[in-house]
Amino acid sequence: MKNISKEFLVKQEEACKNSHTAYWFAENKDADIEKCQEASCKDPECAYWFANDIKGADITYCQKATYKDSYWAKRFAEEIPSANKESYKIYYLL
């Protein structure tokens, strides 16, 4: 387990109150990626960028989050190399 200060954890908690700041905070080497991802993926655009830029992102989780917005869902399926294109096709047909 990482030896993380209480101050760092407070900053992370604060960052995870907003999708955009959670995304940016996840770039910190000591960030809890899962916690940042959960907060970031409340916004489809941030879910796209999280999957695209953050090492260790859960691509499936991020892709599902983009389904709230057809623009980001399509872009995700087309541009994220490990995206599930079959899942997107099903979403698109619904």
> Please, how many CA atoms are within 13 Å of residue 86, restricted to the half-sphere of its CB?
0
Q: What secondary structure does DSSP assign to 22-49, as a single string?
A: HHHHTTSTTS-HHHHHHHHTTSHHHHHH
Q: What's the pLDDT band for 86 if we cut at 50, 70, 90?
A: confident
| pLDDT tens per residue across span 34-85 | 999 999 999 999 999 999 999 999 999 999 999 999 999 999 999 999 999 8
Q: Where are the domains of the chain?
A: 6-93
How far is C-alpha 84 from the geometric centre of its chain's CA atoms? 15
Given a cut of 50, is residue 1 above it in pLDDT? no
Cβ–Cβ < 8 Å for 15, 24: yes
Given a cut of 60, is residue 94 above it in pLDDT? no
For residue 68, the tally of other CB atoms under 10 A from its CB is 14
Given a cut of 90, is residue 93 above it in pLDDT? no
Residue written as token pair 């907060």: 39
